[in-house]
Copies of this chain bind each other. A is one copy, B any other.
Amino acid sequence: MTTFMDVHHGMVGITAEQLKEAHNADLAIEGEEGVHFEKAWADPVSGTVYCLSEAPSAEAVQRIHARSGHPASEIHPVALSI
């Protein structure tokens, strides 16, 4: 398993409720790909959303996000953390 940070652009105006709904939609199906989304942060002004996950691959992260209706713009494995 690898830790990933993925980034969504273009989500200007996202609300707390929409972030929660999007995150819950991921959580509902993440197990099918062996992914776990741990945390998400959103900047409604720039429309940027960051998601932290543990997953077997970037492709698995993207498949869950895509099925939930919000494919990521970037997915980076973050091998290091502190």
Contacts and interface: CB of A to CB of B under 8 A. Distances in A.
Interface of A: 3, 5, 14-16, 19-20, 23, 39-46, 48, 50, 52, 76-82
A71 B20 CA distance: 32
Nearest to A46: B76
Nearest to A47: B76
A3 B40 CA distance: 12
A52 B48 CA distance: 14
Contact of A42 (B39, B45, B81): B81
A39 B81 contact: yes
B82 A20 contact: yes
A15 B23 CA distance: 31
A43 B82 contact: no
